[in-house]
Amino acid sequence: YADSAMYLAKRSGRSKFRFYSRDLTIGAEKRLALESDLRLAVKRGQLELHYQPKVLLDNGKVIGSEALLRWHHPKMGMIPPGEFIGVAEETGLIIDLGRWVLHEACRTAAIMNADGLPPHKIAINLSPKQFQCPHLSQTVADVLQETGCCAEWIEVEITESLLLHNCEGVSTTLSQLHASGISIAIDDFGTGYSSLSYLANFPIDTLKIDRSFINRSDKRSRELVKAILSIARCLGQNVVAEGVETVDQEKFLVESGCAVAQGFYYSKPVPKSELLVANARPEASKR
């Protein structure tokens, strides 16, 4: 957690010199504080989901979005997920937090898919820790029921590391989620412990090509993207290109036959209110 210690030291106005001179003890104390603050964050309504649109490259229409967690810390301001998801995972808080995320995202999906509106699938990031809980698929089913959300309106994003140990529990849970109508996406595809056998052994609907492949323009990276697109096409899987930032990147993706993209070029993650407004005026979401 050296990174988060550094970050917190910066935020609390300490100079780097002082940070280095007092080693990681400060980091450990701050981290402990972060942990107890995070425990209260759900109860105190400090968590919020932002939504980043996924765009059909064919016509620029928004077909869904990814729910991304934000924490408004009362003293430290907005803390990005990269700085607290790890703490939540280590402390087990991710279970309550993850349930809150599911509930909130499904509530939004139900609103976005109300009668007469075009379909909008909301993707929810799941931590491998959430799969250690044997009731995950039941929890998801409960949340769908509570929120009046259809399984078809959500997708779960999992990491390659989850599939690494080929654990029976994970396989069962994924099959249950999939059988209930929920889509399954592999996040950051190609950067973790990629194994082609995952694609044969698990019910995977979507590959999200990691940003690191998209933002490089060298020949080999581009060939890799094309190879991933080709695998997905053969297996009948969807592909989402992550982290698209430029028109050149988009142009390459269109030429390569990629159907869906997500990235700052189209939109940053936006608060729910903005997502709902864009949805109420479908023409506003077309480029």
With CB under 5 to 8 Å by kind, the binding choice for 38 among Mg ion, ligand C2E, none is: none
- Least separation in angstroms between residue 119's CB and ligand C2E is 21
Nearer to ligand C2E, 127 or 173 (CB): 127
Integer CA distances (angstroms), 28 to 1, 22, 24, 34, in order: 8, 11, 6, 10
Query: Which tokens go with 208?
Result: 């999200």
With CB under 5 to 8 Å by kind, the binding choice for 243 among ligand C2E, Mg ion, none is: ligand C2E
Q: Using CA atoms, how far apart are residues 53 and 64, in angstroms rounded to an integer?
A: 6
- Least separation in angstroms between residue 197's CB and ligand C2E is 23
> What stretches of the chain show up as alpha helix (H) in DSSP?
2-11, 16-21, 25-41, 85-91, 94-112, 128-131, 136-147, 160-164, 168-179, 196-201, 211-214, 219-235, 247-255, 272-280
Rounded to the nearest 10°, the torsion over CA 79, 81, 84, 89 is 160
At how many degrees (to 10) do helices 136-147 and 168-179 cross?
Answer: 20
With CB under 5 to 8 Å by kind, the binding choice for 149 among Mg ion, ligand C2E, none is: none
With CB under 5 to 8 Å by kind, the binding choice for 101 among Mg ion, ligand C2E, none is: ligand C2E
Inter-residue contact 255 to 273 (CB < 8 Å) = no
Q: Using CA atoms, how far apart are residues 20 and 61, in angstroms rounded to an integer?
A: 49
Nearer to ligand C2E, 27 or 269 (CB): 269
- Least separation in angstroms between residue 16's CB and ligand C2E is 23
Q: Using CA atoms, how far apart are residues 146 and 198, in angstroms rounded to an integer?
A: 32
Nearer to ligand C2E, 162 or 199 (CB): 162
- Least separation in angstroms between residue 285's CB and ligand C2E is 17
With CB under 5 to 8 Å by kind, the binding choice for 27 among Mg ion, ligand C2E, none is: none
- Least separation in angstroms between residue 63's CB and ligand C2E is 16
With CB under 5 to 8 Å by kind, the binding choice for 263 among Mg ion, ligand C2E, none is: ligand C2E
Nearer to ligand C2E, 26 or 101 (CB): 101
At how many degrees (to 10) do helices 136-147 and 94-112 cross?
Answer: 40
Q: Residues in the site for Mg ion, rule: CB under 5 A? A: 125, 157, 187-188, 242
Nearer to ligand C2E, 237 or 267 (CB): 267
Q: Using CA atoms, how far apart are residues 63 and 68, in angstroms rounded to an integer?
A: 17
Q: Using CA atoms, how far apart are residues 173 and 13, in angstroms rounded to an integer?
A: 45
Inter-residue contact 56 to 98 (CB < 8 Å) = no
Q: Residues in the site for ligand C2E, rule: CB under 6 A? A: 52, 68-69, 80-82, 85, 101, 125-127, 157, 187-188, 211, 243-245, 263-264, 269
With CB under 5 to 8 Å by kind, the binding choice for 52 among Mg ion, ligand C2E, none is: ligand C2E
- Least separation in angstroms between residue 243's CB and Mg ion is 8
Nearer to Mg ion, 27 or 263 (CB): 263
- Least separation in angstroms between residue 123's CB and ligand C2E is 8
Say which DSSP state 268 is in: -
